[in-house]
C-alpha cells in the first residue's frame, strides 16, 4: 500500500486523523470481544469438557425437548464453517449423547438428568462470566448496545439485499 493511499485511508470523514491514540473502529471491537468471549468460554467451561458449542446445545435443550431440525435451525446463526457441527456435538465420540447428557427419541433431542445437572453447573459459571463481561454497564446500556448493533446489522443486510449499490 503506498503512503499516499495509507494517509488517505487514515483520515476520518471529519478531517481528523486515525493514529495509535485514536479510538479503534467498531469492527476491531466486535472481533476483539468475540475472540475474548471464545477464550473465556474455554477457561470457564474447559474443566467440564465443554466448549461454547456444547454449552449452546445444553442451554437450548434446558428449555425442553427439541426436534433435531429445529435445534439445528436455532443454533445455525452462531456456528461457522470449520467448527464442530450439531451432529458432532450431539453424536460424536465425545458428544453430549456419548457422555450420557442427551438422548434422542426419534427426531427429538432432550437432556437427561445428568445433562440437566451439568447444564446447571455450567449455567452458574456462565452467569458469573456474563456479570464480568457486563461489569458496570446498566441493563439499559446493554439493551441499547444490542439495539444499536441490531440496527447496524439490519442496515448492512438491507444494503446487501439491494445489491450494495448504495456504497459503490
pLDDT in tens, 106-128: 899 999 999 999 999 999 999 99
* C-alpha angle 37-40-41 in degrees, rounded to nearest 5: 90
What are the backbone angles phi and psi of residue 32, rounded to the nearest 5°? -60, -45
Q: What is the CA radius of gyration of the chain?
A: 21
E strand intervals along 14-139: 66-67, 102-105, 108-111
- Give me 145's grid cell: 448496545
4: confidence class by pLDDT, cuts 50, 70, 90:
very low
* pLDDT one-digit tens code per residue, 31-68: 999 999 999 999 999 999 999 899 999 999 999 999 99
- Give me 70's grid cell: 429445529
Amino acid at each position: 500500500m503506498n503512503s499516499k493511499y495509507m494517509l488517505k485511508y487514515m483520515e476520518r470523514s471529519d478531517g481528523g486523523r486515525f493514529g495509535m491514540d485514536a479510538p479503534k473502529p467498531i469492527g476491531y471491537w466486535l472481533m476483539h470481544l468475540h475472540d475474548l468471549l471464545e477464550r473465556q468460554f474455554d477457561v470457564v467451561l474447559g474443566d467440564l469438557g465443554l466448549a461454547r458449542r456444547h454449552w449452546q446445545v445444553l442451554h437450548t435443550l434446558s428449555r425442553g425437548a427439541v426436534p433435531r431440525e429445529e435445534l439445528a435451525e436455532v443454533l445455525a446463526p452462531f456456528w461457522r464453517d470449520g467448527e464442530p457441527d450439531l451432529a458432532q456435538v450431539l453424536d460424536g465420540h465425545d458428544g453430549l449423547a456419548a457422555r450420557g447428557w442427551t438422548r434422542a427419541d426419534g427426531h427429538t433431542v432432550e437432556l437427561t438428568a445428568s445433562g440437566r445437572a451439568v447444564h446447571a453447573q455450567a449455567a452458574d459459571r456462565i452467569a458469573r462470566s456474563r456479570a464480568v463481561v457486563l461489569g458496570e454497564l446498566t441493563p439499559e446500556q446493554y439493551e441499547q448496545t444490542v439495539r444499536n448493533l441490531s440496527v447496524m446489522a439490519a442496515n448492512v443486510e438491507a444494503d446487501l439485499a439491494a445489491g450494495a449499490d448504495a456504497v459503490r
